A and B are shown apart, each in its own frame.
Chain A
């Protein structure tokens, strides 16, 4: 395939493009599905994708096709020749230069017996320990993706990335009623013998079965939240969006000129996590992912533009990938909870995208009221309102415990000053 990628790149250049990038990826997936506490479906999928980017006269065009046969490639290049003429000129368009490497990571072959054994173990453990939890949907899968990327600027990368992954979504039902749905999941280098011990699966079920009887808060108040790692992902998602191309190019990022400034509590350090299970060592633009510390002790170290965005805005380019880990703190989860006079332990935030300035209001799901340091009743129809940028600054504590979801490795966060309604 590497030869084929090089041949297609040459075909792009022969067609009159000045620069080009060719990516071929082939993905094999073996996936077992559970529905409603029963194994339901086994999937085997094989797919390939050819992605092309080409530049001519400072005009850029991209295309993807699932066929690698010569006729399809020739048709695609001809379409690109036609479409590139309409693209506006932009000196920032460029292909990745001088990236070389071959990477093999993770399990390279699917062990279908291990997949079946993991599913059986999961179902058995659910049945014994949390019989009221209904697995509405669960996938246990192995994926192997082989990717070749070449560019006209001396880039040739090969990656063979294998990983297992699990995703579970479900809810609990008993004589009191139904709980909100909840979910967890992530990537693994090997399937576990005890699935409840990984990806916070056991904790998720343990909480869910206590959420069938809920209450609304009696009155509005201002209080603290303890965000579980799955809820912390929402914060990070908003932060990385603010540091990415769309927000930066449209001048809508609240961190447009904040590099070097304190944007979070001094206890917070956030790094990328390319070494995590299932995380590709190369990105789609054709760069090797580099280690990046985005926030160091609360101070913003860099933004996260693409290669195009960095050239357009004259910003440093830091190929970071899409996986993040937050350094552990110095407070245990138990002490963190004990320190909350009034607030909530938040399992999941259900909300629309925060406003560009960070304002948000969201429904807290799979959540429990905290009163005088004690976890009391499960909550329903409760919203919190605040500002995400301010929440990062208002982090009062970070837990010693960190949950590992493969790409994401995240602790619990205590944040003060949220409005409950």
Chain B
């Protein structure tokens, strides 16, 4: 990929060349259900004119001028609605950023690994009904240039595996749990050694045996200790989405709360652009797909709602500095405001002490998907959890849902552990999917739990 000469059509314009490579392999009980590879290449242009955006893309090499003119004609076509232009920020980043990957695995290596894990699980655990394994990787190469001087090459990549074990309960109904190994780069960057896999599957199977005898959680407001793996999704769903400026403009309650206390003073939450504590994060964004230099955005500082995440356009509307959060998923997608590496920062408590101090509550360990809301009422599924009785872990609980007002929940946080766990599996869903990372420590709070 290289930068090209292009016509400066419209008040502002940008041109993106985008290559996306993905693989997905699925093995169920030794049968290879999917062995797919996808390679998408595309060019797109976006033009801002008189308050409207025009966008055009092609999977053929159409060229910057042709697409730029088509995008401009699209923007002009909307002038019938009346124009109201705002000047966009003029910062443009120049630089190239590539993730230093180790050599990737071939499909043959991945299939051999899937077979080995399948055989290991079947030979090691007596009561398995099924072993489901998924391996996926994806690589995004983007060259972005625009009319305010940005020339950016960004590369983002990740690899991940899902290992799902299923057993039957006493009523012959399926019970399942999943372990995920994911990270930045390629399969070559993950620890997929059989020693590590064996250890993780042993733990998973122990939990699965406990979940086989699980009881329903008590429904209603409960004291919960969220394991570090769950704090990230809380950060992302509960307060991340409501702090995206386009969601704020859509009427989110956060629009009226900037500068106000919305969480315990123990809570600080940041959407990091690319690095934390001097180390590059799992989804490093140095400049976004509008060519804006990326900045960390402190969403909550010691419990106070502070800043929002922006595109060029929303930063103008809010009179804020642009933050570099505009990202596009596929070659034919336009940039939207998306999170990058969103986390609640660690505190000083110890997880064991946080559990020991709970008389009656729940320790929640694994999650499925989640959802945010304009009201900050969030939810996420809980696939693994245990009762806490008098400071000790008790019986496993059946799948449940954690929910509530994020503001009420974050205000109730009374302990934050010193741990920090990051992960980048799964997709964030908005108009487009997006790869993101999330992180956090263990938290203790009160929230609504689904159950009896």
Q: A171-B250, A385-B219, A385-B450 are in contact. Are A86 and B56 (CB under 8 A)?
A: no
CB contacts (< 8 Å) of B129 on chain A: these are: 250-252
- Residues of B in contact (CB 8 Å), total 88
CB contacts (< 8 Å) of A259 on chain B: these are: none
Expressed in whole angstroms, the Cα–Cα distance for A139 and B55 within the complex equals 14
CB contacts (< 8 Å) of A268 on chain B: these are: none
Q: A43-B334, A252-B174, A383-B403 are in contact. Are A87 and B57 (CB under 8 A)?
A: no
Q: Give B41 Cβ to nearest chain A Cβ, in Å.
A: 5
CB contacts (< 8 Å) of A39 on chain B: these are: 52, 78, 81
Asked if A43 contacts B56 (CB within 8 A), the reply is yes
Q: Give B80 Cβ to nearest chain A Cβ, in Å.
A: 7
Say yes or no for B188: interface residue by CB 8 A criterion.
Answer: no
Expressed in whole angstroms, the Cα–Cα distance for A308 and B33 within the complex equals 8
Expressed in whole angstroms, the Cα–Cα distance for A137 and B173 within the complex equals 41
- Kindly specify which of B23-31, B85-93, B147-155, B386-394 makes contact with the partner chain: B23-31
- Residues of A in contact (CB 8 Å), total 81
Say yes or no for B321: interface residue by CB 8 A criterion.
Answer: no
Contact residues, B420-452 vs A (CB, 8 A): 431, 448, 450-452
Asked if B59 contacts A363 (CB within 8 A), the reply is no
CB-based nearest A residue for B380? A352
Asked if B39 contacts A171 (CB within 8 A), the reply is no
Asked if A44 contacts B37 (CB within 8 A), the reply is no
CB contacts (< 8 Å) of B38 on chain A: these are: 63-65
CB contacts (< 8 Å) of B78 on chain A: these are: 32, 39, 42, 116
Say yes or no for B401: interface residue by CB 8 A criterion.
Answer: yes
CB contacts (< 8 Å) of B39 on chain A: these are: 63-67, 76
- Kindly specify which of B282-290, B345-353, B370-378 makes contact with the partner chain: B370-378
Expressed in whole angstroms, the Cα–Cα distance for A281 and B302 within the complex equals 56
Asked if B175 contacts A357 (CB within 8 A), the reply is yes
CB-based nearest B residue for A34? B81
A115-137 interface mask toward B, CB cutoff 8 Å, 1 = contact, 0 = none? 01000100000000000001011
Q: Kindly identify which residue among B33, B166, B403 contacts A363, using a CB–CB cutoff of 8 Å.
A: B403
Expressed in whole angstroms, the Cα–Cα distance for A139 and B373 within the complex equals 20
CB-based nearest B residue for A79? B37
Say yes or no for A246: interface residue by CB 8 A criterion.
Answer: yes
CB contacts (< 8 Å) of B219 on chain A: these are: 220, 361, 383, 385, 419, 421
Asked if B373 contacts A40 (CB within 8 A), the reply is no
Asked if B405 contacts A381 (CB within 8 A), the reply is yes
CB contacts (< 8 Å) of A67 on chain B: these are: 39, 41, 59-60
Expressed in whole angstroms, the Cα–Cα distance for A375 and B56 within the complex equals 47
Chain A residues within 8 Å of B, Cβ to Cβ: 29, 32, 35-36, 38-49, 60-67, 76, 79, 82-83, 85-88, 90, 92, 112, 116, 120, 134, 136-137, 139, 170-173, 177-181, 220, 245-246, 249-252, 254, 308, 312, 350-357, 359-363, 365, 380-381, 383-385, 419, 421
Chain B residues within 8 Å of A, Cβ to Cβ: 28-42, 44, 52-60, 62, 70-71, 74-75, 77-78, 80-81, 106-108, 111-112, 115, 129-130, 132, 166, 169, 173-176, 216, 219-220, 246-247, 249-253, 331-332, 334, 367-371, 373-375, 377, 379-383, 398-401, 403-405, 431, 448, 450-452
What are 26 A-B pairs at a CB distance below 8 A?
A41-B54, A42-B53, A42-B78, A60-B32, A62-B34, A62-B36, A63-B37, A65-B40, A86-B108, A137-B431, A139-B431, A170-B250, A178-B252, A249-B31, A250-B129, A251-B29, A251-B129, A252-B129, A352-B370, A352-B382, A356-B173, A363-B401, A383-B219, A383-B450, A419-B451, A421-B220
List 18 additional A-B contacts (Cβ < 8 Å) besides A61-B107, A249-B29, A365-B377: A47-B58, A48-B59, A49-B59, A64-B37, A64-B38, A76-B39, A134-B251, A137-B246, A171-B251, A179-B375, A249-B28, A252-B130, A308-B33, A352-B381, A356-B176, A361-B451, A363-B401, A421-B450
